Structures are given as C-alpha cells and as structure tokens.
Amino acid sequence: MKQTTRTTVRFAVFFPFFLSSPSDGFLTSRHETFTHPSKPSFLDSRFYSSHRRHHVLQNPDVATTGEHKENDNLWWKNISFEHSDVATLTRPDFEIIIKTKIGEEVPKPLVYLDSAATSHTPKQVIEDIADYYETMNSNVHRGAHTLSRMATTAFEEGRDTVASFVNAYSRNEIIFTSGATEAINLVASSFGRSTLKEGDEVVLTEMEHHSNIVPWQMIAQETGAVLKFVKIDFEKGGLDLEHMKTLLTEKTKLVGFQHVSNVMGCINPVQDMVTMIRQKSPNAKILLDACQSVPHMKVDVQELGVDFLAASGHKMCGPTGIGFLWGREDLLNSMPPYMGGGEMIDQVTLEGSTYAQAPARFEAGTPPIAQAVGLASAIRYLEKIGMDKVEAYEHEIASYMYKRMSQVKKVTVLGPPEGVERAALCAFYVDGVHPSDLGTFLDIEGVAVRAGHHCCQPLHQAKGISHSARASLYIYNTKEEVDYFVDQLEKTIQFFTGLETQIDGASGGDDGFVPFI
C-alpha cells in the first residue's frame, strides 16, 4: 500500500489657563478635582441640532453650562431591551457593515469578524469628530480665543469621560496616548528606566502582546533587569498561576499581564492575581493590558487593584490614533517625563526645566484633540447600550461561536474549554491548511478574519504552531453571521482536503508539487 506524505498547500490568490479667571466659566486647571460627569458632553452632535451648534459658536460659555439635549436620533434610547437585542439595535449605526460588499462578480455582504484588531465606528462618533473640526477646531490649553477655549473644554471633557468609564480616583490619572502601545512604552520608559537596576525582575506572561514584551526587553538591556515569563496551561486554556507563584520574589519590581488574551480569549482572574502579587512581591507595581477587556465589559480600576492600565480607542468604537494610560496619581507624579516639549513643563530656562504634574507631564506637544472627542463619544455610545448588556450579549454569542467551531472537523480552537467563560473571540488552526489561505478564501465569501500570529509569537511558539486564524466578535455581530462564517469555514476546509488528496495522488510522492490555481 502506497504511503503518502501530508502536504500543507500554500498559494496566493490574485485657552491658556494662565489667562483664565474663576469667572471665565471654563476649566481653570488641568488638575482640578475629578467629579464623575452626570450629563453627556455638549460635543455629542446627537445631543444638539445645527441651531445649537450655531448658538454655541455665538455664545461659547454655553459649552460649560450643562445645557444638553437628549439624544433624539438614537431611536432605541428610551426603549427597554434585553441583551439579546444588542446587535439588532446597533447594526444600523455602523454603515460600513450595512453598505460594504466584498467581491466584484458576485458581491457578498461583509461579515466582519476582526474587531479584536480594530472595531468599527458608529456614525454618531464619526459625526462628533466631524462636528469638532467644523465648529471648534483649534489648539488646546494655549489660546484665550473662543475656539481654543471650546476645544480645551471638549478635550478635557473627554478626559473626564474616560476617567468615569474606568472609575479612576482622579481625572489627573488619565494620560492620553497614541494607543495602548505608547501607554505601555510610557510605563517602561519612565517607571522602568528610573526604577529598575541590575538584578531586578519583571514578570510577564507567555501570552502577552508584543507591545508588552518588546518595551521591557529594551529596558532590561539598558538596566540589567531580568525578565521572567509565566507559562500558559494550554489544557485549561489560561495562565498557569501555580507557575506564576514560583516566579514572584522580593526582587520583582513589576508584573505585567493581559486582562483578556487576544489569542486565547481567556479572561484572567485579575483580582486573584493581584492578591498573589501583593503577598509575594509587595513592592511590585502591576500593569494591566486592558485592550481586550475595556471595550467588552465593565472595568473598574479601583476594584481591580492594579497600578497601571493601558487601553486603545480603536478597539472600542473610537477612532484610531488614541489610547490612554491610567495610573495612580501619586505614582505618576513620582515618575520622570519620558518625552520633552511644550505643555509638559512648569518652567523652562536655558539652565534647565521643571515639569508639570500629571497628566500634563506625559502629554508633550499638541495632543490628539479630535481623537479624544471621538473616544469620549464612543464611550458614551457604549454606556447608552450599557456595559452589562454588552458583556452579556458577547458572552452568549461567544459561547455559540465556540460551540459551532468545535464541531468542525480538523479545527482546533485555542483557549478555555466549553463551559468556561471566554471573550468574544476564537483563535484556531486547521490541520493541513495555512491560516493565510483560510483568510484568503473566507474573504472571497465576504468573511473578514485575522490570520497570522496576532502580535503574539511567543504564545504560538509555546503551543508549537507558527500561526493561527482568529474570528472576533463585537456588539454588531449576529448568530446568523456566525453560522455563515462556520459554513464557509467548512467549505474552505473541504476544498483544501480535496486538493490535498489530489496532490497526494498525483504527485507520486513528490512533495514539492504545488498546482497553479
């Protein structure tokens, strides 16, 4: 009997505050005591008409009076709905999903399953960003003129909105960055460079995104610090916490880990891990990568008990180019600036400079103003739905997708087994089929998934695979889309299985033969 060799087929298919007075009615300090905003920002274009926009321009003090209109254009705002209705209610707000067709000869509706990389943006957020540019575009913290004061108010209201969303102790604890990558690099460059010395230890995990590994490797090379990595228990689909316990010592100065893995989909037990770290390494600071949790569940920094938290806007219905770092205020003010320039200073002379307190200390230069407006708008959008409903809906649809995918032959889904709560994503691999080929064929049928290592090469190396594909869900995805995806996945696997059989039969054992298609 002829013995054949398995072949994996690869081919390509073709105002400044120093001028303000208490009577101005505008923010008199970037460091004022934080109070949770009880009303929506005046910037949400869905809260006011074009007449109101004209009124604000003619009477800029209205911008801070709290005179807001209700969101008349969110048709579902006053109705009672269950979490199962989330996608039905929100899909009309995402025009890219409704309008986009994939393919030229037979266009297919878009089934977007790549929100773990970047989520889509509702039209309300897009309109708020456009409204900022059309009615108040100016630099912030620098001008006494009307537009600058309006832009400053809008920008700082954005900080308040983010602070409220994660339940910060103070608005001064929110640092706007270009994204979560910059937020983590800020901690590594400022805290790490000023604190770590030779022999100190930083504990990370094998499942970390590269943005929470590479910066620490760079700082370790500079300082002589030692990096340790918590192993993954692939059978349980999460971190090996017993192994983590053995890594924590008095030399541990920082522990960094994901709240939710962008590959495994596991939800790490943050509070239990914090308790362990505080007991074993009481002097260590804790950095939480919350990119895959903040958009999908209620995240409360006070409850979690961490010291730093990083997140990005483009994964939570917001614009690209903005993220934020939350850090304990006393800790932030003890850290040196990592970048110099305007706005982050107290006094500058030719002999030297003194620096502002947080948040200004870490926001050198012109900040991402329009992006902060958009991020705040995205948060308001999610809060109108209710993060409890977002989480409940995603848990339901994630369980459904995992169950469907687990029934497909040759498919291995990474992460927790059935019955264990997981995030709304499934990374997977198929025996004999490269993830890039899966992604290409699924795209032909209108399905957008991620293929590659998802910026987690060490995780894949620990598993013994080079790549995987990933389907990730958000508030606008439906069970019908999951069914369509799984059906197309099965057809794709069948195609490659049949092709593999033909190759094995025709090659005469020549493993180098790949047909031209």
Among all residues, which ones are annotated catalytic?
Answer: 455
Give the tokens for residue 90.
């929100």
How many whole angstroms separate alpha carbon 510 and alpha carbon 481? 40
111: β partners:
447
Give the tokens for residue 319.
């614009």
> Strands 201-205, 252-258: parallel, antiparallel or unpaired by DSSP?
parallel
How many whole angstroms separate alpha carbon 121 and alpha carbon 316? 8
Give the tokens for residue 9.
């087929």
How many whole angstroms separate alpha carbon 146 and alpha carbon 337? 31
Eight-state DSSP code of residue 417: P
Matching residue, tokens 């290409």: 440
471: β partners:
426
Please provide residue 468's backbone torsions phi and psi, each rounded to the nearest 5 degrees.
Answer: -155, 165
Asked if 29 and 356 count as a contact pair (C-beta separation under 8 A), the reply is no
472 SS3 class:
strand
Residue type, position 330, single letter = D
Look at the chain and count its residues.
517
How many whole angstroms separate alpha carbon 393 and alpha carbon 385? 11
Alpha-carbon distances of 227 from 202, 224, 283, 450, 514, rounded to whole Å? 5, 10, 17, 29, 43
How many whole angstroms separate alpha carbon 375 and alpha carbon 245? 37
Eight-state DSSP code of residue 263: T
Q: How buried is residue 125: exposed, middle or buried, by Cβ count under 10 Å (0-12/13-18/19+)?
A: buried
Residue type, position 514, single letter = V
Give the tokens for residue 143.
């001008």
Q: What is the gyration radius of the CA atoms in the chain, in angstroms?
A: 25
454 SS3 class:
coil
205: β partners:
230
Alpha-carbon distances of 325 from 105, 166, 329, rounded to whole Å? 46, 11, 11
Query: Which residues in 106-225 belong to E strands, given as ranges?
Result: 108-109, 111-112, 174-177, 201-205
Half-sphere exposure of 468 (CA within 13 A, CB side): 27
